[in-house]
Structure 1
Amino acid sequence: MKMKKTNLAVGAISLAISSIAFANEDRSDWPSSLVMGTASQGGTYYIYGAGLANLISQELDINLGTEVTGGPAQNVSMVQMGEHDFGLTTLGPAQEAIEGKSPVMAGVEHENIRAVIPMYSSIFHYAALEQSGITSVADLEGKRLGVGPAGGTNSVYVPRILEFLGYDVTTIDGGISDQGGQIQDGLLDGFAQAGGVPLAAISQLEAQAEVNIFAYSENEIERLLEEFPVLSRADLPAGGYASLDEDVPTVAMWSFVITHADAPESLVYEVVKTVMENSEAVAQIHRSAEETVAENYINNSAIPFHPGAVRWFEENGYEIPEDLKG
């Protein structure tokens, strides 16, 4: 009996050593440090990206840092060029980049971007000072509207949306935090955002002044859903901002974490595993991160999944369509 216990112990130690050796070998092609592109300060991407990178770094014992960027369009191109290891993007800019229509790298088909995990639905909404009398998108006619940094989802899609709806609005690019202050200074009449709710810049504005927060009319929503397939119906949730006591119907666009097609499969697998299997910790990053759950992979209609992501999802019972396997 004693001999059997000894053999079992030796076997367990050998197995542990083999596992460690395998783990070390498995990480041999992992970069020593990695970078994730987020967006400008004051936006949800900035907060979400920092929290996600910190979680992944701690759980996998790696060095994953974040970098302030212009947002989705720039992030897609940075990943395509191999300048960033990971990036945060909405589906619209990603799809356009894949088709060679990126405003950052026009004419270059971004064939090397791959989806990693679902983030959350970026909700389109607007804010203006109550004293302006602006309470609807139609009221923005002839006004000056901040749309965040160039290359972001807002700066790309909000002007298109307003033009499609027939409103003559002057849209102005700029840092999210800066534009919140410009509204108070009278340099802007309103502020548009598509992101996780609450957006820090709007919450800050709301804490300093009386603010109207609004979105599209039902007729406008129906027209937008027909014109822009990457949009989906959504609600700006009650309580998302202090002044919202009921849901506000609007549209949204899903966000995904992306990486390069050449990223090590084992690295991407472990990143997906870490995020998807720690949903409670992820949800603490930001209210919108409650949507960062495996089931929401189905909201990806444009970006091929990285093989490492495909492996984790399919091992856990989620079927990835063949045309979305990168």
Structure 2
Amino acid sequence: MRHICRLVSVLAAMLLSTGVAFPADPNWPATLVIGTASPGGTYFTYGEGLAKILTRELGIPVSARATEGPVQNIALLEKGEIQLAFATLGVALQAWNGTGAGSQGKPFREMRALFPMYDTPFQLVVMHGSIIQSVADLAGKRIGSGPQGGTTATYMPEMLKALKIEAPLIYGDWADLAQQLRTGALDALAVAAGVPFPSFLDLETNGKLRFLNVTAQQIAVLRLTHPELQLSTVPPGIYASLPTPYQTVGLFNFAVGRMDLPDNLVYAILDAVFSHQDELIGTHPAATETVPANFTRNMFLPFHNGADRWYRNHAAGGTEQGD
């Protein structure tokens, strides 16, 4: 018996010395998976940073899964294949109402809002030497639009239709599409993502980009056809190729989770995210907008009970923990 006790003590000391944590509640799932998007995009980078924070703070393995983006994320969440996901509110609204791609008219109601992430501006770019000078010049040009399950691929066909522009859209991973733009296989990239967009930064290592101006009239048309679109601005200096503000439209991103996640787990997730925002910003600067006050950007999606308790408690300045 003495030997068993000594062995247990040694194992415990070894685990503590290596920084291995244990889940705070035995009712929590053994692992968590976050649905992100394709490599080369903001979701993927942000998700990898978040997974590291949550793994450490929750004491359970959390992994970031590469996906095609919000449409697939919500579908995977609905089926229970992942527990956490990233989604733009426009795509989430379509899925909630059963009008989005892949929903086949069935409302997806398993998701609950957790915490705000950042704004997603629509950005249209070409290489600096391109003959394309305006959004109207995109007619007939090859436009990379990301994975088919992403926000860009969901919105861009309807946005081009609203602007009366006909152009072929090419889908794929952002890193691959960026390479095709660099080699001339594509004429432009249309991207809805948090800034700075990693693939744009990669492109700028070998040359400058040109951001195609979205006119005030075009913005008005887009917001009329898609009221969920908001005014959005990419600040100057975010990219070396952008010396002035870039005015466009955008959607806000939220982390969502399955409604059956334990309330105290969700509470702990929000605690970890907001307590380590500086670390998340180090992963990607878009996380500067990952602050509690931005929970108001969600106007329709129900918050998870654990998230609701966190916001109510911290708005009141309390210290109550999740149940």
Q: Same fold (TM over 0.5)?
A: yes
Q: Does 1:72 align with 2:87?
A: no
Q: Which one of the candidate residues 261, 264, 271 is aligned to 1:263?
A: 261
Superposed counterparts of 1:1-326, under 5 Å:
27-317=25-315
Q: Write the deviation string for residues 49-86 of structure 1: whole angstroms up to 9, x where unpaired.
A: 11011111112222110110000100011111111010
Whole-Å separation in 2 of the counterparts to 1:197 and 1:308: 29
Amino acid at match of 1:217: T
The runs of 5 or more residues in structure 1 that have no matched partner are 1-23, 319-326
Whole-Å separation in 1 of the counterparts to 2:123 and 2:213: 5
Contact 2:162/2:221 (CA < 8 Å) preserved in 1? no
Contact 1:94/1:302 (CA < 8 Å) preserved in 2? no
Amino acid at match of 1:153: T
Whole-Å separation in 1 of the counterparts to 2:56 and 2:185: 42
Whole-Å separation in 1 of the counterparts to 2:161 and 2:150: 17
Q: Percent of pairs identical after alignment?
A: 36
Contact 1:180/1:201 (CA < 8 Å) preserved in 2? yes
SS at match of 2:81: coil
SS at match of 1:191: strand
State the TM-score, normalizing by the size of structure 1. Answer: 0.87
Amino acid at match of 2:193: G
Whole-Å separation in 2 of the counterparts to 1:213 and 1:306: 38
SS at match of 1:123: strand
Whole-Å separation in 1 of the counterparts to 2:135 and 2:68: 25
More displaced stretch, 252-261 vs 280-289:
280-289
SS at match of 1:83: coil
State the TM-score, normalizing by the size of structure 2. Answer: 0.88
Aligned length: 295
Contact 2:208/2:240 (CA < 8 Å) preserved in 1? no
Whole-Å separation in 1 of the counterparts to 2:47 and 2:299: 22
Whole-Å separation in 1 of the counterparts to 2:221 and 2:118: 23
Contact 1:127/1:192 (CA < 8 Å) preserved in 2? yes
Contact 1:231/1:253 (CA < 8 Å) preserved in 2? yes
Deviation at 1:230, TM superposition (A): 1.6
The CA RMSD measured in Å over matched residues stands at: 1.5
Deviation at 1:215, TM superposition (A): 4.1
Change over 3 Å in CA distance of 1:126–1:40 after alignment to 2: same
